[in-house]
Amino acid sequence: MKTRKSLAALLACIMLMSIFAGCNANGESQSGTPSEESGQVSGVSFNEADFPITDEPTTLTAVMLSQSPNWEYNSDMYIFKKMEELTNVKLEITNIPGEQWWEQLQLMFASNELPDILFVGVGAFINASDVITYANAGQLLPLNDLLEKYAPTYTALTDQYPEKAKLYTPDGNMYGMTALIYPVDGNARPFINQQWAGDLGYEMPETYEDFVELLKAFRDSDPSGQGTIPLSGSAGGNEVDPFVAGPLGMTYGWSNKDTWQVVDGKIVHVTQHPMYEQYLKNMNELYSEKLLDQEYYTQSQSELLAKGAAMRVGAYVHSAHFLFTNSQDPAVYDQYRMPVPFTSEYFDEIACYQDAINPAGIFITSACENPEIAVRYLDYFFTDEAAEWMYGPEDQGDGKGGIEWTEDRTVFKINTDEDSDGAYDYTNRYIAPTNVIIGNYYYSDFSKKLEMALGDQSLTYNQQTYRVPYVKPAAPTLYLSAAEIEQTAMIADAVNTYYAQMESKIVMGEEPLESYADMISHLESLGLNDLVEAYNTAYDRYKSNMN
């Protein structure tokens, strides 16, 4: 009995200690709030317009999302060396691998252990609701004034696009910078095996109906000789929606159709889109005719890639053909080509969709003592000179790779070292993290001199030829206010879980097509209309922010 009592006392003591420990940790991290007045910088000198940005060497910490185990972004990369020479600012980088991203991101904020700058890259690698929650908690800094004062290049670039409006949150502030400004096509790209199509006597399809015919030919003639899967993908990152939803006029930001679609100037949930029932019908037809991979809804990315490497797939959606086929041999991956966006009997516009201004992907946090320095530093990434640096140094012929010019210096190509898988991998290993900070990389005058040759550059060629000319703005990423998020979080989860469940069931024939009406009424009973209303309010705010 006595033993137990003293044991309990001991435990109580330890618990108390941990409370105080937590208290301390909080107190410290709170003190890092920067001074509001501009120009006043704690500890170091700050040059408002000239270089270097500070006279004494300064270090900023950064967290970056690294999407490949090959990429360990660090301050020795070419671009950061050049930037350090110019600005006297060194970036101390922590990488977070893709598979740990979401947990690490939330834990970083929840424990208030933040870097000065957070790079989440291009794409939806931070939820719109998180931006609001953490901005509301004071962990993300409002950048409006800072950008206006210290980011002339960035501001001039973004001002060209009315879609810049999406960067403003409901409180009227911008909390993040976009990492990608120009309309290049999205991350998930459709590919079709052009060689098989040619062998079977088919042209590259330009309409959805021709595409289905081609898939049937893939199914019936089995050109791979090992059980050809006409169309493959995986729900959860590699949806086939650019093939199916696009030709029905539904927008898709990445591979998945947007949850919120704009119809007649109003926001509707994707299930309320006039073409959604047709979408279900088309998907169901693809599935029941065994044109769509029968494991589409359950297979993981790695299972999909195994099929890709075995060359069993006729058409798919993935970020790159050489990644999907796991091959560096142009003879293999060049069998696949991107089609132009399809039209269909329901929709005759040739269009693929992309946020013209990518949602905010670079954030400055409350841990940053000198946000002015950070903003000036980041702004320089959007200059033409920085874009040039992102292509790396000239090849010295020492096997380390670099850019190689033609004799008249009008066109260059990128040579890689032995370890790298193509130019993209090479760049992200040694030169610049073009996945998280892109700046003017794709559209500077310098980048136009890059040779469109084989190698993985043929991906760029595919993009430039078949997709980029047809890019139209997708539905914007909308910010709900903190109060709206709190009211709708559970509804949003319930609605999206139920809708995904019903959609997959109807497509796979577990539920009849007619249950679409029941589905809508059940969604409404879950509170769909409240959710739609909240998003329409957000959309009105977005429109009022457009210039």
Partner 1 sequence: MDQQNAKPKRSLLRIVLRNYQVYLLLLPCIIYFALFCYGPMYGLQIAFKNYNTGLGILGSEWAGLKWFQQFLSSGVFWGIFKNTLVLSVYTIIVGFPLPIILALMLNEVRSLRFKKITQTISYAPHFISTVVIVSMITLFLSPSSGVINKIIEAFGGDAVYFMIKPKLFQHIYAFSGIWQHVGWSSIIYLAALTGIDPTLYEAAQMDGASRMRCIWHINLPSLRPVIVISLILSAGGVLGGDFEKILLMQNASIMETADVISTYVYRLGIGMSQFSLSSAIGVFNSVINFIVLLLVNKICRKVGDTSLW
What residues make contact with partner 1 under the rule CB under 8 A? 2-3, 6-7, 10-11, 14-15, 18-19, 22-23, 25-26, 29-30, 102-103, 106, 109-110, 112, 127, 129-130, 133-134, 136-139, 227, 235, 294-295, 297-300, 303, 366, 486, 489-490, 492-494, 497-498, 500-501, 503-505, 508, 510, 525-527
- Whole-angstrom Cα distance, residue 106 to residue 139? 12
| Smallest separation, CB 534 to partner 1 (Å) | 14
Q: In terms of CB distance, is 325 or 366 closer to partner 1?
A: 366
| Smallest separation, CB 405 to partner 1 (Å) | 48
Tell me the residue length of the chain: 547
User: 302: buried, middle or exposed (CB in 10 Å: 19+, 13-18, 0-12)?
Assistant: exposed
Side chain identity at 261, as an amino acid letter? Q
Q: In terms of CB distance, is 406 or 501 closer to partner 1?
A: 501
| Smallest separation, CB 300 to partner 1 (Å) | 7
| Smallest separation, CB 106 to partner 1 (Å) | 5
Q: In terms of CB distance, is 19 or 454 closer to partner 1?
A: 19
| Smallest separation, CB 240 to partner 1 (Å) | 14
- The beta strands (E) that lie in 54-113 are given as 58-66, 89-97
Q: In terms of CB distance, is 58 or 256 closer to partner 1?
A: 256
Tokens of 334: 């060049």
Place of tokens 């991203």: 101
Closest CA to 315 of 202, 228, 207: 228
- Whole-angstrom Cα distance, residue 197 to residue 215? 9
| Smallest separation, CB 412 to partner 1 (Å) | 44
Q: In terms of CB distance, is 144 or 298 closer to partner 1?
A: 298
| Smallest separation, CB 250 to partner 1 (Å) | 18
Q: In terms of CB distance, is 62 or 526 closer to partner 1?
A: 526
The CA radius of gyration of the chain, in Å to the nearest whole number, is 25
Closest CA to 353 of 184, 237, 205, 166: 184
Under a CB-based contact definition with an 8 Å cutoff, are residues 283 and 322 in contact?
A: no
Instruction: Give SS3 for 480.
Output: coil
| Smallest separation, CB 190 to partner 1 (Å) | 21
Max CA-CA distance within the chain? 91
Q: Which residues contact 31 (CB under 8 A, 6 or more apart)?
A: none
Going by the DSSP 8-state scheme, the letter that residue 231 receives in this structure is: E
Q: In terms of CB distance, is 23 or 454 closer to partner 1?
A: 23
Under a CB-based contact definition with an 8 Å cutoff, are residues 337 and 191 in contact?
A: yes
Going by the DSSP 8-state scheme, the letter that residue 181 receives in this structure is: -
Q: Which residues contact 396 (CB under 8 A, 6 or more apart)?
A: 402
| Smallest separation, CB 48 to partner 1 (Å) | 29
Q: In terms of CB distance, is 307 or 467 closer to partner 1?
A: 307
Q: In terms of CB distance, is 87 or 299 closer to partner 1?
A: 299
